[in-house]
């Protein structure tokens, strides 16, 4: 299940251990709206092999700033809190799977 993170403390707790895919997005962003159902379907199918969290850059700019997010959607894969992969823009399901390998 995709979790929406609303505080910096919650973000840090969710990303400090294990593999996590972070979706930095905004509610007004067209490509973010296109990506959301694809991400939800991939997560539901369990094909990503990691937890997924969503961070609204307008509500939690501190988290976006920590990772230098300047465009959205930005997808960042973290392992034990450290960035291991990143992609910008819309991705299809197969691209999401490749990102989280």
Question: In the structure encoding, which two tokens stand for residue 36, read together?
Answer: 């959301």
Question: In the structure encoding, which two tokens stand for residue 59, read together?
Answer: 């509500």
Q: Which of 20, 21, 22, 32 is catalytic?
A: 32
Determine the 3-state secondary structure of 47 from DSSP: coil
Is 50 labeled as catalytic in the residue annotation? no
Q: Which residues of 49-82 are buried (b: 16+ CB within 10 A; e: fewer)?
A: ebbbbbbbbeebeebbeebebeebbbbbbbeeee
Q: Which of 20, 29, 53, 99 is catalytic?
A: 29
Show which residues are catalytic. Answer: 29, 32
């Amino acid at each position: 299940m995709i979790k929406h993170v609303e505080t910096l403390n919650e973000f840090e707790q969710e990303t400090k251990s294990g593999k996590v895919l972070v979706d930095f997005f905004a509610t007004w962003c067209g490509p973010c709206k296109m990506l959301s159902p694809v991400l939800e379907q991939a997560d539901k199918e369990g094909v990503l092999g990691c937890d997924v969290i969503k961070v609204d850059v307008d509500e939690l700019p501190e988290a976006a700033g920590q990772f230098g997010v300047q465009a959205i959607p930005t997808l960042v894969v973290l392992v034990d809190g450290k960035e291991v992969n990143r992609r910008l823009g819309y991705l299809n399901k197969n691209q999401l799977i490749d990102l989280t390998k």
